[in-house]
Structure 1
């Protein structure tokens, strides 16, 4: 059996920045610091930061007065920002800059007098944050079917923005439906969807050409990780989402000659290593990296932590 690792895989620049933000805040201000929502969708990362003194909460009401508070990489609504201000909580914003870019794009379109359509998954933290950042008429759609149900006149000026972790293909289909139904549509290019999402999806498509089975390392609540597994399935391959090496089932690879392994943008490389070791225990294997794009993107830490 051969094991081929996707390239790129795992942590993206936004996730690295978010984790570094929490660690730097702990160094600068001391434990505990409070983080609203999971900083990224990965239990291993969250537990590691908890051990260093981070405290994760879902609501700001759980944060003691005066405690340093960090907003997660997914972003938050203005309501949450205003609540923090009203309580005079010292806050640090770890929102991924590419999510902030979506917020800014949406505001520009609304300022132009356009009705905004946001393509995303209802209930996802990034979606809730974005919906709460943009004033004006705004509609959430998840599918082509949702586009057909929009209560908007066909000649109304509209614009769209997208959740950063969506499938490029699924987004392209929804955008095409918007252009079919409405006569005045503006929106960012497909390439403006998160670079890391696109790169990892492209890598899985390449991996599916040379593998018999695909294993994606990521959390069950990670949107981009779930989409990587779906892409493998769409290519006709048995594809599995695992948290780590303990989830590997020997039956999955019983008849496989080549197993492809990738990881979502919030999954650390240590978990990829665990999966590889679990596969090696089933059958000693040759491990190699698929040739692919080498990412060099990095984001600066929040200003509060640079001094």
Structure 2
């Protein structure tokens, strides 16, 4: 009887030859007929390699003497055992390896597609955010320039100071408009500058107050978002009314886990048919959802006895 170590050694050599044949069939030939799948070729090659490798191993053992091999009962039985086992186990192992390889490729491909999709979504959101922001900035600037033109046309002595304030404001504001890391504190600086500019234009009709806790000023905040609400309050609330009004900019976060609330309220003319449908507010709603997620919201309610309150709610 063939010793077990010798039998295991022969089996190991045959297994290595089958593995080499499996790997070679996975790479060659480069092109296969349409009716022949690569995995099927590899399984068939392994099935053919096992008996051929077994014959080769036994021929090496007997020095190429086929007659000596056929006359030795123990070697014949060992040949049959190894070849038979290899014919059963070899293709099964090959199919298992192919399955794991295909599964790993599928997971890798799925992960690659997911990463690519996430990158494309991020690029699309960035492009959309820049487009919305590009629409908002001219909207604000052209409205302000129109106000200055009205002062010039009416010969108001406030025209020159307002223009100087606008220039100073733009010098401070322009570097922040494209700042993706802007904070609520940065936005409040712009809001205060804008309100001071508007106060110069109508000193007897506009008062304002800004009260935001210091711990909220470091929160990330979309550039121009709060300024859009303030500009909307001036345009639709204070300007149309003969008596003007007061604008308040406030913020609070009640308890941990609750949304941050930032609002702009005015005592102007209140809700009108056109309030809330302008380009600025439409874009602001979209920017909030892209910046903070779908839970972010913009609510507009009437003040009592008159005026409007625009409130942002979001989870930072």
Higher helix share: 2
TM-score category by the smaller chain? under 0.3
With the length of structure 1 as denominator, give the TM-score of the two structures: 0.24
Which structure: larger Rg? 2
**Larger relative CO (CA 8 A, sep 6+): 1 or 2?**
1
